[in-house]
Amino acid sequence: MIHGQIVNEWILKVRPTHLIIIDYELLTDLFMANIYRAMAPFWVEVHILSPRDTAIFLNSREEKNGEKIFLLARTPVIYEKLIEYGVHIPEIVLAEKKYMPKKRNASLENKIAINRLLEQNVKVMVQEFPNEEATVIEKYKI
């Protein structure tokens, strides 16, 4: 999940103050969780949380000047969960080519989640690297 593309490209471009990794597996794998924390730049505060705990964290915070929170999840299903928990998400960038309009290799579960996000007026885009142009995703035909 955190690898060269994330650390060297996205995090350096966005320069977030917080990185929230929303991942059930890492919650139970302390060894891997510590490796992921160690890979993040020193200025980023790293949290590994469930979708519910992420929503509690985000919904309980007051806006702070200069604070940028970077959310990282394996699938669009996680972002759908966050919205169900009351988190306002105006847009999502999926950094995997499988979601590109011509590829459409996403699983049915992910296609359904993307369609639900779109129905809630979330702008969903695919952009593998921050220096590339984002491609807006339209509703999947299922």
pLDDT in tens, 30-47: 999 998 888 888 999 999
- In sequence order, which residues have a C-beta less than 8 Å from that of residue 23 and are 6 or more positions away? 1, 48, 73, 74
CA atoms within 13 A on the CB side of 18: 16
pLDDT score of 35? 87
In Å, how far are 29, 47, 78, 131, 133 from 34, measured between CA atoms? Answer: 9, 11, 22, 29, 33
Give the position of tokens 């992910």.
Answer: 110
CB contact at 8 A, 53 and 82: no
pLDDT score of 122? 97
**Residue 82: Cβ within 10 Å count:** 22
**Residue 38: Cβ within 10 Å count:** 9
Q: Decide if pLDDT at 101 tops 70.
A: no
48 by Cβ neighbours in 10 Å (0-12 / 13-18 / 19+) ranks as buried
Q: What is the pTM of this model?
A: 0.88
Over residues 108-120, the pLDDT tens digits come to: 899 999 999 999 9
